[in-house]
Amino acid sequence: MKWFTAQASGDRTAKLSIDRAIGSDWAPDWIADFTGEKPAREFIEAVDALGELDRIDLEINSPGGDVASGVRIMNYLIDHQAEVHVKVTGMAASIATVIMLAGDTRTMGVGTSIMTHRASTLMIGFYNKKELEQHASGIAAIDDAIVSAYVARTGKSAEEVNALLDKGDHYMGADEAIEWGFATDKDAKLKAVASADPATYQMQIKMQGEIRSAQAEASAATAQLEIKNKAIEDLTAELEAFKNPTAATADEIIAKCEEAGLESMAVAMAKEKLPMATVESRLKMAAEVKDIAKASGIDEAVMLKNLSNPTQMIRDAIAEAKALGDQDLDHHHQPGPGNQKQPDARKAYSQLNNHDA
């Protein structure tokens, strides 16, 4: 398969394609053709064989190749009487960009690119300084030829082009290639958004904005709902704990009573299996009752024994007060034991448990 194809497409129109390295089907044939005439001559002869042409459509996908052939093909197409329309279908690299510049129009296909760099060569063997300098001079001449072609067809200055080539292998997409003057246009699909009706495009943007806004509101509402659900769960748990409180352990009750100085109440409350909140409430009330008893001169033990039954506690307090006021009453009520030694709550509770067992 040749590195190019050329065929007539009717109405004095030809379709050309370069889809390989320029001048080679599988290897650089120009190694054996130092003048670079054979590859270019084959291309030119194939196009001339198509007869009189008014339009040439050339598709390029090439990594580059023989410089001399590329320059000659460019000049041939520029001088051709037909309009030349070039389209990059993959990549146009190195000398392929020079052939690309022969087009009256130069279109970049979707996803295509071009690549520019300075000329390079292959040297094998031993060379002296003079020979190396001569070779370098030859490469410089090729660079100058490429720069001249770029300047002539892109509209850029020699200084700008040389600065570009000094970057080494430089790849460009469609927009940059157009900016540099290598391309004159890009594929219609690339321009689809730009050529769309602005009103329709703005409507799409507005709709997208409204959708995003609705999504944000939905997310916020979901977050609020989750917060509310969590609050309901917590409240439900609190209500359940209030309805079905967990009984405090005997050790917890005894410790709390010792802390309050009311060890005598520990056994009774432990036996009732009260929740800690109730234990704390009773101990608080007991402390207040002790203060009242002390201020009234009433034995606190008389009042504390019925702390869980306020009505009875008040009755006992009244009876105690009467007994203290009138020792001769028939319903005399003996005063309580006074400030006697407090019982050992832990020992009593232990004995109570052993008795129950």
Of the candidates 209, 224, 244, which is a domain's last residue? 244
Same domain, 9 and 75: yes
Q: What's the pTM value of the predicted model, to 2 decimals?
A: 0.51
Same domain, 46 and 127: yes
Same domain, 182 and 239: no
Same domain, 257 and 315: yes
- What 3-state class would DSSP assign to 339? coil
Same domain, 76 and 131: yes
In a domain, 192, yes or no: no
Same domain, 52 and 154: yes
DSSP readout, 218-265?
Answer: HHHHHHHHHHHHHHHHHHHHHHHHHHSPPBPPHHHHHHHHHHHT-GGG
pLDDT at 268 over 90: no
Domain range for 73 is 4-186
Same domain, 69 and 165: yes
- What 3-state class would DSSP assign to 106? strand
* Residue % of the chain over a pLDDT of 70: 70
In a domain, 296, yes or no: yes
Same domain, 306 and 234: no
pLDDT, residue 153, reads 92
Same domain, 33 and 142: yes
pLDDT, residue 215, reads 62
Pairwise pLDDT comparison (102 vs 357), residue with the higher score:
102
- The number of folded domains in the chain is 3
For 285-319, the pLDDT digits (tens) are 888 888 887 877 777 777 777 777 777 777 777 77
pLDDT, residue 62, reads 92
Positions annotated as catalytic residues are 94, 117
Q: Do the beta carbons of residue 300 and residue 286 sit within 8 Å?
A: no
Same domain, 152 and 296: no
In a domain, 191, yes or no: no
Same domain, 135 and 40: yes
Same domain, 125 and 240: no
Residues 6+ apart with CB under 8 A from 147: 158, 161, 162, 165
